[in-house]
Amino acid sequence: MKNFLDKDFLLYSDTARTLYHEHAAKLPIIDYHCHLVPKMIAENYQFADLTEIWLGGDHYKWRAMRANGIPEDYITGNKSAYEKFEKWAETMPYAMRNPLYHWTHLELSRVFGIDKVLNPSTAREIYEECTAKLQTPEFRSRAIMERMNVELVCTTDDPADSLEYHIAIRESGFKVKVLPTWRPDKAMTIDNAEVYNNYLALLEKAADMNISTYADLLAALEKRHQFFAAQGCGLSDHGLTTFCADPYTDSEINAIFAKVRSGKNPTAEDDRKFRSAMLYDLAVMDAKAGWVQQFHIGAIRNNNTKMFRQLGPDTGYDAIGDYEVATAMNRLLDRLNLDGVLAKTILYNLNPRDNELMVTNAYNFNDGSVAGKMQYGSGWWFLDQLDGMEKQINALSALGLLSRFVGMLTDSRSFLSYPRHEYFRRLLCNMIGRDVENGELPASELPFIKQMVENISYFNAKNYFGW
């Protein structure tokens, strides 16, 4: 019987162990998509206790606690920090085989140096030891990133954001690069005219110009796009239910924008046409700037109306949606390709039924200009666990080139999430090692295989994004 979380965790062959320990484990982390708060990095934030750094804003854990019958007072309510943590510890044994069980213990081990199993009997001891460590300089936000061997992170930022904290981080000389990512979702979300016009007021202020027409909107976004580029941004990201690529005319888009600007909500058809136009025009900006564009597809959000009214978005009530994807995706990418403005692209799906769909349709638009131009992104959100990552790797391997894959990211708001890169690397090495041990890959090619593991773990991302 193997020991839980020992040095050979998830590594079930000699080849897997060699690939991981001698090649993947040593490499720095490039976390090219996350939701860290830049201000917390700029100010070298000190967390008050283990509950704040571990449970604050973590809707993965909140969902598990609710499923375990924990009242909301102990999750997002007014109970004390330790009472909340105690309920998380109470939930932990029931989370076996959920990725949270592995993530929790990896984070305890790799960040805090604690190899005890979290359960009700160890809760107080673990809480007090971790909380005490969090009061020291070695456990402030920057120190955690450095200790985890992080080389670069990309945060997720709205076009109206000032990026003042990114600038402050850069000017401070912090050795970890912290770059912004352009996330223009709010600029294309017109379904509620009042909310949209309030957002445009922020964008007007950031761009220092009036936005009266659709042309003005694009001009304002272009100004902000250039500003983001000046701060080191080279990636965009879109969080979409699905792609939109409806036919439209310029006059229709101008009229829809004017209608919304006057305070009237659009029809569903108007909304689709406007999103279609915006996705195209924003993609053109990315291509002209030489950026990489990312599309996260398939979440159905804010499904629990009662709790949305109580807590707002991003609180654990989103799930996997079942939207049609392929037709509109191909239509959008094909138009960009015909016009010579298709940027390097990464596609992520939330519904695992779309794995093969995503990789095959992405590969319609590789053109030989860049190795791995069209990327099938890593397992995302509900799929960044062992089964989901293995299925993503298998789909990419069967239908594309795993060797060109740009690898893992955390997609996390937490400074403790970097062991997810280790989790991914161990799984990757185990899968490839198993193929070698089974004679499905030639042992004579181990020099290339070792380099492939290093590339997927680190070098492919570094080269693809130009870092």
SS (H, E, C) 427-451: HHHHHHHHHHHCCCCCHHHHHHHHH
Q: What average pLDDT does the segment 416-441 reach?
A: 98
- Residues 221 and 285: their CA atoms lie apart, in Å, by 9
User: In the prediction, which pLDDT does 409 show?
Assistant: 97
For 291-314, give one letter per residue: b (16+ CB within 10 A) or e: bbbbbbbbbeebeeeebeeebeee
Residue 297 near residue 353, CB atoms below 8 Å: no
Tokens 């689709």: give the residue.
272
Q: Name the pairing type of β-strands 319-320 and 344-349.
A: unpaired
- DSSP strands (E only) in 46-193: 150-154, 177-179
Q: For residue 200, give Cα distances in angstroms to 68, 144, 219, 336.
A: 42, 37, 13, 27
DSSP code of residue 117: P
Element (H, E) at 173: none
User: In the prediction, which pLDDT does 245 show?
Assistant: 98
Is the predicted pLDDT of residue 224 greater than 90, yes or no? yes
Element (H, E) at 200: helix 193-207
Q: Is 394 buried (19+), middle (13-18) or exposed (0-12) by CB count in 10 A?
A: middle
Residue 435 near residue 4, CB atoms below 8 Å: no
User: In the prediction, which pLDDT does 57 show?
Assistant: 87
Quick check: pTM over 0.85?
yes
Residue 298 near residue 242, CB atoms below 8 Å: yes
User: In the prediction, which pLDDT does 2 show?
Assistant: 87
Q: Which amino acid is at 154?
A: C
User: Could you read off the pLDDT of 329-367 as tens digits, one per residue?
Assistant: 999 999 999 999 999 999 999 999 999 999 999 999 999
Q: What are the structural domain ranges in the chain?
A: 14-47+141-465, 48-139
**Closest-CA residue to 186 (of 165, 202, 172):** 202
Residue 415 near residue 53, CB atoms below 8 Å: yes
User: Could you read off the pLDDT of 124-154 as tens digits, one per residue?
Assistant: 999 999 999 999 999 999 999 999 999 999 9
User: Could you read off the pLDDT of 276-324 as tens digits, one per residue?
Assistant: 999 999 999 999 999 999 999 999 999 999 999 999 999 999 999 999 9
- Residues 30 and 355: their CA atoms lie apart, in Å, by 24
Q: For residue 49, give Cα distances in angstroms to 52, 139, 463.
A: 6, 11, 38
Contacts of 6 (CB under 8 A, 6+ apart): none
234 pLDDT band, cuts 50/70/90, is very high
Q: What average pLDDT does the segment 7-14 reach?
A: 98
User: Could you read off the pLDDT of 360-392 as tens digits, one per residue?
Assistant: 999 999 999 999 999 999 999 999 999 999 999
Alpha helices in 92-163 (DSSP H): 99-112, 123-134, 141-147
User: In the prediction, which pLDDT does 1 show?
Assistant: 85
Q: Name the pairing type of β-strands 29-31 and 150-154.
A: parallel
- Residues 309 and 461: their CA atoms lie apart, in Å, by 40
Locate 181 and state its tokens: 């990512």
Contacts of 31 (CB under 8 A, 6+ apart): 150, 152, 153, 154, 409, 410, 418, 421
- Residues 417 and 430: their CA atoms lie apart, in Å, by 21
* pLDDT averaged over every residue in the chain: 97
Return the CATH fold of 48-139.
uronate isomerase, domain 2, chain A (1.10.2020)
Pick the CATH number of 14-47+141-465 from 3.40.50.880, 3.20.20.140, 3.60.20.10, 3.40.50.1220: 3.20.20.140
Q: What average pLDDT does the segment 416-428 reach?
A: 98
